Structure 1
Amino acid sequence: MHGSLPSPVAPAASGAPASRFRLPLILRLALRELRGGLRGFAVFLACIALGVAAIAGVASISRSLTDGLAREGRRILGGDLSFGLIHREASPAERAFLAANGRVSTVAFTRAMATAADGGAALVELKAVGPDYPTLGALVTEPALAPADLFAERDGTFGAAADPALFARLGLKPGDRVTVGDARIALRASLAAEPDKLASGIGFGPRLLTSEGALRASGLLQPGSLNRWVYRLALPDAADARVEAVMEEARRTFPEAGWEMRSRLAADPRFATSVARFTQFLTLVGLTALMVGGVGVANAVRAFVERKRPSIATLKSLGAPGGQVVALYLTQVMLIAALGIAIGLAVGAVLPFLVDAAFGAALPVPLDPTIAPGELALAALYGALTALAFAIGPLGRAHDVAVSGLFRDTVDPDRRRPRPVYLAVLALALAGLVALAVASAFDRRVALVFIVAAGLAFGLLRAVAFGLMALARRLPRPRRAAPRLALANLHRPGALTPSIVLSLGLGVTLLVTLSLIDSSITRTLERSLPARAPNLFFLDIPSRDADAFDRFLGAAAPRGKIERVPMMRGRITALNGVPASQVKAAEEAAWVLDGDRGITYAEDLPDGSRVTDGAWWTPEQGRTPQVSFDAELARLLGLKVGDTVTVNVLGRNLTVPIANLRHVEWRSLGINFVMVFSPGTFRGAPHADLATLTLPEGPDAATEARILREAARTFPSVSSVRVRDALDAVSDLVRKLALAIRGASSVALVASLFVLAGALAAGHRARLYDAVVLKTLGATRRRLLGAYLLEYGALGLATAVFGLMAGSLLAWVIAARVMKIGFVFDAGSAILAALLAVAVAIGLGLAGTWRILGQKPAPYLRNL
């Protein structure tokens, strides 16, 4: 501080107690020193602002989505309550109960084949509505038509609106006609927006919105056919307590109805859960960016302390105690951190408004952009604790360093550990970060795993750095000057090795992870169609037409393999007598208890399955109701042979014991189910069949298209699905997930680059000292550059090896455990990613070194 040094801080001169003026004095001194600007803190600010902005932005958008769902819950649901039934319509008693509580509207859903006049056919998700649709919100079509005109029956032809994808797939335009089952339907408009689209769900085919009369005229409502009826109830008294009371009364009055109940308070709980999970993932990514940025904070603070050595020595020589010196510079650091936090909060707060302005009209969910004080405060706390945790160590070291030690710190840095009080502050800050991450997590187990993994990563990188330094210290000294200097630079006092290994190691790990995830997704999609997978699936085959349909497929594909099984839908309502809503299922198995499942019955063990516990039933045993359950899901649900499962099918609860557990090879894409019942369980019950056709020559688009057209014409009530189309839909979803992961992880990657640049900048003073001394002694620029190239190359090679191993392990965890896809180790892409990171590190290092080597020694020798 030389000429700008503030007044000595010894309290005796004032005659007042030190404690009375200490804090204000420290604050005044800190603010006075900050008048000189924020030189050297660019990386510090960038790291804190980036991490806080990521956490604040994610939390704010999540809050906006949640508020939007809550605000628009009634419109999304189409009422205050909805009651969904599978396979059947509500009974007169059930309809009477609903009508007694409010205004009822009906919507039905089913899959069907839409056939154009030229014979082209496509699977559609048919949605049939009543005359009062929509009860809430607005239906938007192009051209704009009132629902009465859109759905009106004219000369035996019903009206409809269709998703633009259906027009494109069949080469149609508004006004053209299609046949669905036995019904003729005119596509009078293109469907632009449905007010209840979110609650209606997403299917494999484009939406076809028509009237309930058209559905009944189609002949698709056969016993056992797969259709879903949803009854929406608008209450005259829509108070929250009344909504809950009607739901409880419905459960009590119709305990075996088997309906899926939703309220406007949770219009789409599955979507809300997905938002919460994705928010947690993105928050952890933001926290990763903060933790990576914390290394940049530590580097910046270490460089700051180095620049302030003369000022610290002067203050101590004038009598300032070590604690006061630390408090002074910690105050400065936290003031600068507050600026970074403010920048991050500003970006995070405005992000929902920017997203709404840019994409609000295209979003399928309502976004209610708002300032979320609680979420912003949480992000600010994350930033403050990160700054404190990573700054207190470098600052605390200055407490006990003698004045003489401060002056010679350039050539002989003091290795003294900070005092216990500073280590305690560090421990409290880290504990606060852990507590915040766990307390705010949707899945605390995931948060704990992340924290442990982050701790291991930091610890391992630290160990790699110290191991590299120890190895360099023990290696024999080369005779040539450049290698000798490079080796010394790796382990000398004040070496950049720990900082560079930590920042570069994190960057390489991230790049390798993303590269291997990309490779795994690509390979999985390429191999997603097994060699003997079915080409076509056929749904809703009426039992009376099953034999005729088999003959049709036999004639259409004489050498094809045909499999057909009965299929129904049912909801698991209890496990071992415990209601499904009260079962604490593992996250990986919760989907089995949420909504209805496909079920079947069979005399023989299905292909692609093998019994792992218990035994398959004999023909005699098969007459008794029992079930075979998927072994992995049973393990996650805590089920074993002999336990009971209660399933609601066709409005009737059926409790059966588990006869055996079986492993299912789902990747074969053959016909298989989580639950396979014994023949005696449902024999005689109305149902439709499910069939598959496997062509001997494998995928054949022309043959598949011909069979689809002929099936749609001959059996209009049967829905057909190309496996390739289904896989393409899944592939598109997985690719979008991968893109989201790459985009989110890039935040942490950018932070890693900031940290690397900061680490190199932090070593600028030491490198400048070396360069000046060595050039004075006759070293050439080329020789010094060669030495630094060897040093950065050795650091890069060591971190690349670590990054390859750690990134491969992390990619395997994400691919196999999170995304549930096959992990593929693509050595070429992983090594390329590691080399790219190393090249960036060497380039940045040499760029900074080149600038140092260009300095003239004389101006610096005067101040050494």
Structure 2
Amino acid sequence: MTAPPHVAPAARLPLALRFALRELRGARRGFFVFLACLTLGVMSIAGVGSFARALTEGLAREGRTILGGDAAFTLIQREASPEELALLAAGGPVSRVASLRAMARAETGEATLVELKAVDGAYPLVGTLETRPAEPVADLLAARDGAFGALADATLLGRLGVKVGDRVAVGAATLVIRGEVTAEPDRLSAGVGFGPRLMIGQDALAATELIQPGSLVRWIYRVRLDDGADPALAAFVERVRAGAPEAGFEVRTRDAASPQLERNVGRIAQYLTLVGLTALLVGGVGVANAVASHLSAKRETIATLKALGATRGAVFGTYLTQVGLLAAIGIALGLVLGAALPFVATFAAAQMIPFPLAPEVSPAALALAALYGALVTLAFTLWPLARAQEAPVSALFRDALGEERRRPPLIYAVLCGLAIAALVGVAALTAEDLRAALIFLAAAAGVFVLLRGVALLLMAVARRLPRPRSTMARLALANIHRPGALTPTVVLSLGLGLSLLTAIALIDRSLTDEISGSLAERAPSFFFVDVPGAQEAEFRDFLAARAPGAAYKSVPMLRGRIVALGGVPAEQVKPSADAAWVLQSDRGISFSDAVPEGSKLVAGEWWGPQETEALVSFEQKLAEGLGLAIGDRVTVNVLGREITARIANLREVEWQRLGINFVMVFSPATFAGAPHTVLATLTAPDGAGADDEVALLRELARAYPAITTVRVKEALEQANKIVADLSLGIRIASLVTLLTSVLVLAGALAAGHQHRVYDAVVLKTLGATRARLIGAYGLEYAGLGLATAVFAVGAGTLSAYLVVTRVMEIGFAFSPAAALGAVGIALAFTLGFGLLGTWRALSAPPVRVLRHL
């Protein structure tokens, strides 16, 4: 039926919507926490998703520049043959780059490890190498006055104490630093290096005499296609693979220029999205409290509607519509802020990200955040709405909701369950790592249930404790367990946020202690790479004379890449998330007659010294992640030859010792006659200081310029910095959960304001002083805050312990500072907000309450 033309537009709206709009006129203040919780949670999810999209879009857009061409073909320890080069050149211009680690020595004697990059005249095929001074790369690297040129980054200049124009020695060559590298277009494709960049030409590399049989060098051939279309690129890669099946090329294309970085972006984005979802779930408690508080304030209106004949469905529909309108406002605010976040972050982090970002409004990320917000609203508001519609008119006309509780129909419990199941389903379907997402969600749900149990236990204990003689203590104890007590909400709101922060702080502490403490103590002092086999005895004697008492260990080493497992090509294998890295690039491999130190045989038998069959020993956990078992065959490409070996046994490796060990150790007959180098370690005796290590480093660089020396302490310091930066970012992101918890706590205390007003007025009428009441409420809030902090410390410690010992497999370190911080935060917020509300309650005029008693 159509409304007459003279009827006002508002009157044409459905009845429930009209009532909801009228009710909203005075509800803005009471729903501040509701809006804030939804806005914050939706903003964090939308912002993280949009910023991750900006990163991945930036990587995709700059993929050609990051890779240095349309396709890159990498070989380890050998150069491409003329036939292979011709195959690559058929696609377009080719640039050849050699990458290896080496030692650079200044004329003052200072020496340091560098990431040496030797480029040809075509470099860079794509992008621009920016230098200071800005001159052609070929001119800067050319030979002048008997010395080749080199380009160094600022870090290298600082470490060696040199400047542009000074000379440095690398291997057998003397180089003149002719400029400083300020921007390297393909730096990201190389990953994280152990040393600063030093760039030279191909002729200079030959002069260093660093390239020997078995030397650890990567030859990268970048191709810029004449026809750069995607189908042409895929066809070209396929032609190269078919034309050189035995070459062992590691192939990358512009659409996956930095796969490790893309994976890390995805994992961090997933973690931060789950943290945002946790904040939204915590905010759901605030949403439920706000709805319950609003319905309590509207009890007279609800009673009037029901007395005038409104059905339960009409009441439910009116307030569900009202909640939906408010949720739409909160979600919309969160989406606006989340959409703006990538642009703000891009502006703030532009100097820290080495490629142009592509911030944009991501409809997919915004839609996901909106869906999360809507599902959380449904899950946390259906139950209080259902309870309100079930309350009888006689109870609604009292000054407070009666204590009689009627259980709503089962359908509402089913609907709540469906909303929660939908939340879990959406989180699982959109997860980068399904297993990690499910573990995270299960842990969050477990903590929710556990927090509820802790609150009920706390109330039960308070109910059974002997009554203290002190009036303030007796009143505080009664407030903890009385009907309508704030205990469940306070414990739930603060507990989850504090547990998360405590766990992150303890994981950070354990990692830091492992790297700078126990790991540094167990690790060797030096690693030596590319030690020529023919010189090893002389090298060992040199170290024995310069570092008496130091322990020297060595093993033969080659580099190889897994190309097939059990006859299945590596690219078709679907490994577990923990084992995927083994297939992503080349690996160090070794051969030995005996079980390596730091390894324990857990399955199968070790081969004897006379074994002639090609056998391999695989690390146990990685073998399981790759679906391998004893008897399976593994094919590796080493020096351009594909070698297939049978898995004879599985080992458990203690990687934390930082000793010499490998994923794969072969029987010696497998590589009989193959050129190889030696990997060695030197562990200084107790009492050796940093000055002794630096002095030895200088002597080694001077006496053996072709041997790469890695000082472990410097590598650990770099790792410690990376962990510290990552932990700081994660901790800042996790503060969103704590901020939401604080909002929920403030909303819960605000919702209980009317109860405190009644209590305060009655007690003041009976003779209680303001000081006694403040003291009683202070004891109540301090007790709740302390109990919540104790739980948060316990839950956070247990979570961190499991992550550190079971996932990271390192030692756990407890941090008293983290525990005290959780206690301090809990007490500060519960006492602060609680006493602020109490002061307002004590200031309320008694006459408004007394006249209704």
Which TM-score band (shorter chain)?
A: over 0.9
Unaligned stretches of 5+ in structure 1?
1-10, 15-19
- 1:300 alignment partner in structure 2: 290
Aligned to 1:680: 669
What's 1:446 paired with?
436
CA 818–737 in structure 1, closer or farther in 2 if over 3 Å, else same = farther
Name the aligned partner's letter for residue 679 of structure 1.
Answer: P
Q: Secondary structure at the match of 1:399?
A: helix
Distance apart, 1:761 and its partner CA? 0.9
Letter in 2 for 1:55: I
Correspondence for 1:313: 303
Aligned to 1:634: 623
8 Å Cα contact 1:570-1:598 kept in structure 2? yes
What's the CA shift for 1:382?
0.9
Equivalent residue letter for 1:97: L
**Cα distance between partner residues in 2 of 1:697 and 1:786:** 58
Contact kept? 1:530, 1:667, Cα under 8 Å: no
Contact (CA 8 Å) 2:520, 2:716: kept in 1 or not? no
For the residue of structure 1 that corresponds to 2:480, the secondary structure is helix
- List per-residue Cα deviations over 1:283-321 (Å, max 9, x = no partner): 001001101111111111111111111111111112211
- Picking from 179, 182, 193, the partner of 2:169 is 179
Offset of residue 511 of structure 1: 3.8
Q: Using the alignment, how far apart are the partners of 2:191 and 2:821 within structure 1?
A: 42
2:355 alignment counterpart: 365
Change (3 A) 1:588 1:672: same
Which is worse superposed, 277-286 or 392-401?
A: 392-401
Deviation at 1:371, TM superposition (A): 0.9
The residue type paired with residue 631 of structure 1 is Q
Q: Deviations over 1:643-667 (max 9, x none)?
A: 2211110011111112222222222
Match of 2:656 among 667, 686, 708: 667
Uncovered stretches (5+) of structure 2, i.e. residues with no partner = 5-9
Instruction: Specify the alignment match of 1:126 in structure 2.
Output: 116
Aligned partners of 1:296 and 1:758 also within 8 Å: yes
Structure 2 residue corresponding to 1:722, chosen from 706, 711, 724: 711
**Larger mean Cα displacement after TM superposition, 416-425 or 707-716:** 416-425
Residue 419, structure 1, aligned to residue 406, structure 2:
no
Partner of 1:285: 275
User: Which residue of structure 2 aligns with residue 7 of structure 1?
Assistant: none
Structure-1 separation of matches of 2:35 and 2:688:
56
- The answer to whether 1:778 aligns with 2:740 is no
One-letter code aligned to 2:641: R
Distance 1:73 1:698 in 2: 49
Q: What's the counterpart of residue 693 of structure 1?
A: 682
Contact 2:805-2:811 within 8 A present in 1 as well: yes
Partner of 1:136: 126
For 1:181, the aligned partner's letter is: G
Residue in structure 1 matched with residue 811 of structure 2 by the alignment: 822
Amino acid at match of 2:755: A
Please tell me whether residue 108 in structure 1 is matched to residue 98 in structure 2. Answer: yes
Of residues 325, 341, 345, the one that matches 1:351 is 341
Instruction: Say if 1:61 and 1:817 are closer, same or farther in 2 by CA, change over 3 A.
Output: farther
Q: Which residue of the partner structure matches residue 484 of structure 2?
A: 494
Matching residue within 787, 796, 807 for 1:798: 787
Query: Is the 8 Å Cα contact of residues 531 and 698 (structure 1) preserved in structure 2?
Result: no
Amino acid at match of 1:551: D
Answer whether contact 1:532 1:698 (CA < 8 A) is retained.
no
Note if contact 2:596-2:661 (Cα within 8 Å) is conserved in structure 1.
yes
Q: Which letter maps to 1:179?
A: A
- The C-alpha deviation readout for 1:532-567, integer Å capped at 9, x for no partner, is 532111111122322222222222223322222211
**CA apart distance, 1:362:** 3.1
Letter in 1 for 2:710: V
Judge conservation of contact 2:399–2:852 (CA < 8 Å) in 1. no
Cα distance in 1 between the residues matched to 2:407 and 2:496: 25
Is the alpha carbon distance of 1:558 and 1:453 closer, same or farther for their aligned partners in structure 2, counting shifts above 3 Å?
closer
**TM-fit CA distance, 1:831:** 4.6
Q: Distance in 2 between matches of 1:202 and 1:774?
A: 67
Alpha-carbon shift at residue 479 of structure 1 (Å): 5.5
Letter aligned with residue 580 of structure 1: A
- Structure 2 CA distance, aligned partners of 1:496 and 1:710? 70
Maintained 8 Å contact 2:606/2:649: yes
| Structure 2 partner of 1:240 | 230
Bigger shift: residues 565-574 or 146-155: 146-155
Kindly state the Cα deviation for residue 131 of structure 1 after the two structures are TM-superposed: 0.7
Structure 1 Cα separation of the partners of residues 401 and 256 of structure 2: 65
Deviations 1:366-414 (A, max 9, x none): 3111111111111111112112211121111111211111123626333
Which residue matches 1:46?
Answer: 36
Residue of structure 1 in register with 2:14 after alignment: 24
Moved more, 780-789 or 763-772: 780-789
SS in 2 for 1:397: helix
In angstroms, what is the RMSD of aligned CA positions?
2.2
Q: In the alignment, is residue 588 of structure 1 matched against residue 617 of structure 2?
A: no
Q: 2:451 and 2:34 mapped to 1: Cα distance?
A: 21
The equivalent position to 2:188 in structure 1, one of 178, 186, 198, is: 198
Counterpart residue number, 1:533: 523
1:96 equivalent to 2:86? Answer yes
Paired residue secondary structure (1:527): helix
Q: Distance between the aligned counterparts of 1:350 and 1:787, measured in 2?
A: 46
Tell me, yes or no, if the aligned pair for 1:108 and 1:227 is still in contact at 8 Å. Answer: yes
Distance in 2, Cα, partners of 1:618 & 1:207:
44
- Give the letter for the 2:656 counterpart: R
Match of 1:250 among 218, 235, 240: 240
Counterpart of 2:712, as a letter, is V
Total equivalences in the alignment: 847
Q: Distance in 1 between matches of 2:84 and 2:813?
A: 53
Query: Aligned AA for 1:651?
Result: G
- Structure 1 residues 819 and 347: CA distance shift in structure 2, 3 A: farther
Scaled by the length of structure 1, the TM-score of the pair is 0.94
1:515 to 505, 509, 515: 505
Structure 2 distance, partners of 1:253, 1:198, is 29
Question: Equivalent residue for 2:457?
Answer: 467
Shift of the alpha carbon at 1:164?
A: 0.6
Q: Give the C-alpha shift of residue 475 in structure 1.
A: 4.3
Give deviations 1:156-184, integer Å, cap 9, x for gaps: 32222111110000001111111111222
Question: Could you say which residue in structure 1 is the equivalent of 2:427?
Answer: 437
**Among residues 741, 745, 761, which one is paired with 1:752 in the alignment?**
741
Letter in 1 for 2:657: S
Residue 258 of structure 1 aligns to a residue in which SS?
coil
